[in-house]
Every structure is written in structure tokens, then in C-alpha cells.
Amino acid sequence: MFTSASALNVTRATLRPTFQKRNSTIRVNRVTRAISVDDVTGAITSTVKEVQSVRGAKDVLQRVALYGVPLTTSVVTIQALHFGGAGLGPAMKIAGLGACAGPLAPLAAIWLFSVVSPYVQAIAGLAGVLQVGEDIPAWFCGISFALAACSLWHYGSAGFTNIWTRHWVVWQLGMATTLLTSTNKVKEVLGRKVDGIRKVALIGPGLVMAALFFQQPSMAAFEAAGFSGPGVLGPVAAAVLHPLWKWFMMFGGLAYLTDAETKYSSLIIGLSMLIVSISIMPQLVAPLGLMGSWMHLYAAITLLKEVTPADSLIPSV
């Protein structure tokens, strides 16, 4: 029943190369499946076909908005490194951002600001848009959002209680949750709870902002970053800035989360997010404006798709 030590060592020595070869083969196969050239070319072809229909175009734009922030920050950084752009520095200074801080600072510094980070972010973002790499883009970009919220924006000079800081933290945590809960592993672990969590991630940022406006907060940080009023949509965007808007957001958001009413709440909140993405966020200094627009646009598309026929752009409630 028992094997001597010498015999066991011989057996281990004999089997080790086989195990090592097998493990290496498994790793290579996984990587090959994730980044296969055929997968990439096939995804590009599929995406081109998608945008030729209204339904497909909405799906592609939704994915672009979902991965828009990592794509934007990576492109801005790469442009600065190779083509002489300004990079993220000026925007970070205006936003009151410095070095990563907190318990996750070492990881965040490597993940977000290492030499290879912008290239990996760009690849992951593009892969997410093209639906390549299985769950890898969602994992990577989801973690990026979470680290940026918890280790960068949370420690901004405006202070965590400032509406500026809370705006960016809750929106990035919402995007992180949306991405991470789209992965197979998280769905497997959480089961049916995923749907509820995703609803909170989608509606939560808007609810938090509405609640903050009840406190009549100072908008000085937003104004310092470029915010100056309704923007290009004029009176349409002014409706979102009206004191009554926060009431619509609060009641609509709670109705949506509790399933008490979902059609009109999806329409109202979705249109509000669309207005903010088009008229409010673009006023902010680049690339902050584009980053904010992408996050609000994702929420808008997701909500409006619930009340819009698949092959139409006009909501039907």
C-alpha cells in the first residue's frame, strides 16, 4: 500500500515533464482561444454587419459607451507618448487628482499608470467593443474602473463629500459593477442576484446625484472643469438642471428598482442621461467630458432599449 521515498521520487521525476507539458499546452490553448487572429477578423466582420441595421448599431454603440472610458484614457495617453499630445496630466490637475492612495494604491498605480497600462487598456477596450477575448475585457476594464474610483477619485483634493468627487466615484463603481457582473464566473457565483445588482449599478449613480442635489451642493468644482450651464441643447438640457428634476429621478429610480413601474421610469431616466451625455458632460475639460459622456450614454442606451422596439430609434410606451 505504501511507496518508498525513492520510488516516489522516481515516479514524480517521470511524470513531471508530462504534467508541465500538459499545463503549458492548456495555457497556450487558453491564450490562443482568447486572442486568435480568426476571432479578431471574424469579430470585425460581424461588427461591420451589425452597424448596418438599427438594432445592431444600437448594440455596437452600447458596447462603445461601456468601454469608452478605458479607450479614451488609453488613446489620450498613447497620443501624448508618441505624438506630442497633452496627455492626462492637465485634466487630472483640474480634477484635483494626484497619486493613487489608500490600501489598493500599489495595485492601482501599476494597473492604471504603468508603462504598459495604456496599451493593455486600449487592447482590452477594443476587444470589449468587438466582443473578443471572452470575459477578459470585462474583467480587466471592470477592475480598472473599480481601482480608479477607490484609489484615485476617492482621494481627490475636492474631498470625498464634494459632489464632484462623488459623481465620478459612483459612476465608475457603477460601470465596474456592470462589467464584472457580465462575466460568467460572477454570474455563476451570484446566480439570480446578478439582475438586481446590475439594476442598482445602472440606476444607482443617477439616484445618488439626485439625492446630492437635495443638499444644494456647490458646483464650483464642475465650473472649474468647464461646466457653465445647459450647453448645446439649451432649454432641453435646462430641464435636467431644473429643481424638479431630482424629484423625477428619485421617484423614477425607486420605481424602476422595485419594479413598481419600469416603462415610464426607463424613458424619463434614459432621456435624462442622454441629455446629460450630449449637452452637460461635453463642457468639461478633455478628456473628462468624453469620459462622463460615455458613462451617461451607456445608461441612456440601456434604459431606452427597454422601451424602444429593436429596429427603431423611437421609444414606444
Mean pLDDT of the chain: 90
Q: What is the pTM of this model?
A: 0.87
**Is the predicted pLDDT of residue 110 greater than 60, yes or no?**
yes
Could you tell me the pLDDT band of residue 35, with boundaries at 50, 70 and 90?
low
**Do the domain assignments include residue 142?**
yes
**Is the predicted pLDDT of residue 38 greater than 80, yes or no?**
no
Could you tell me the pLDDT band of residue 26, with boundaries at 50, 70 and 90?
very low
What is the rounded CA–CA span in Å between residue 275 and residue 164? 19
Could you tell me the pLDDT band of residue 11, with boundaries at 50, 70 and 90?
very low
CA 124, 141, 136, 182: dihedral to nearest 10 degrees?
-130
Q: In total, how many domains does the chain have?
A: 1
CA-based nearest residue to 288, from 120, 18, 147, 96: 96
pLDDT in tens, 41-60: 888 888 999 999 999 999 99
pLDDT in tens, 215-256: 999 999 999 999 999 999 999 999 999 999 999 999 999 999
**Is the predicted pLDDT of residue 20 greater than 70, yes or no?**
no
**Number of other residues whose CB lies within 10 A of the CB of residue 282:** 17
**Do the domain assignments include residue 224?**
yes
**Is the predicted pLDDT of residue 91 greater than 50, yes or no?**
yes
**Is the predicted pLDDT of residue 6 greater than 80, yes or no?**
no
The pLDDT of residue 18: 43
**Do the domain assignments include residue 282?**
yes
CA-based nearest residue to 304, from 280, 277, 282, 279: 277
8 Å CB contact between 207 and 269: no
Domain that holds residue 207: 53-305
State the amino acid at position 178 in one-letter form. T
Could you tell me the pLDDT band of residue 17, with boundaries at 50, 70 and 90?
very low
The pLDDT of residue 1: 42
What is the rounded CA–CA span in Å between residue 138 and residue 179? 5
CA angle 187, 188, 193 (to 5 degrees): 50
Could you tell me the pLDDT band of residue 14, with boundaries at 50, 70 and 90?
very low
The pLDDT of residue 34: 53
pLDDT in tens, 164-201: 999 999 999 999 999 999 999 999 999 999 999 999 99
What is the rounded CA–CA span in Å between residue 126 and residue 70? 9
pLDDT in tens, 251-279: 999 999 999 999 999 999 999 999 999 99
The pLDDT of residue 68: 98
Give CA separation, 222 vs 76, 80, 210, in Å.
21, 25, 16
CA-based nearest residue to 244, from 214, 279, 204: 214
What is the rounded CA–CA span in Å between residue 5 and residue 61? 63
Helix axes 68-83, 117-130, angle to 10 degrees: 140
**Do the domain assignments include residue 10?**
no
Could you tell me the pLDDT band of residue 37, with boundaries at 50, 70 and 90?
confident
**Do the domain assignments include residue 8?**
no
The pLDDT of residue 33: 52
Could you tell me the pLDDT band of residue 92, with boundaries at 50, 70 and 90?
very high
The pLDDT of residue 36: 66
The pLDDT of residue 39: 76
